[in-house]
Amino acid sequence: MTSQNTYKVSEGHFKGIKNADLYFQNWENPRARGTIIITHGHGEHSDCYLRVVNALKDEAWSIYAWDMRGHGKSEGARGYAESFDDYCGDYVEFLKLVLAKPEVKKGPVVFLAHSMGGLVQTKTLLQHPEIKPDAMILSSPLFGIGVEVPAFKKIGAQWLAKLAPRITLWNEITNEHVTRDPEIIRELENDPYRHARVCAPVYLGFLESFKFVFEHARELKVKALFQISDKDPVISSSEAIRFFEQLGSPEKEIKIYKDARHEIYNDIIREQAYEDMRKFLAGVSK
Angstrom distances, CA of residue 164 to CA of 17, 84, 196, 204: 22, 16, 19, 14
Indicate whether this model's pTM tops 0.75. yes
72 within 8 A of 47, measured Cβ to Cβ:
yes
In the 3-class helix/strand/coil scheme, how is 57-83 assigned residue by residue?
Answer: CCCCEEEEEECCCCCCCCCCCCCCCCC
Averaged over successive runs of 10 residues, the pLDDT of the chain (286 residues) comes to 72 98 98 97 97 96 98 95 96 99 97 98 98 98 76 49 49 80 95 88 91 98 98 94 98 98 97 98 91
- Residue-range domain boundaries for the chain: 8-282
| Ordered strands of the 8-15 beta sheet | 8-15, 21-28, 61-66, 34-39, 109-114, 135-139, 224-229, 252-257
Q: What confidence score (pLDDT) does residue 155 get?
A: 52
Q: Tell me, what's the pLDDT at 5?
A: 60
CATH of region 8-282, choose from 3.40.50.1820, 3.30.70.2740, 3.10.580.10, 2.30.110.20:
3.40.50.1820
What is the predicted pLDDT for the residue at 285?
A: 87
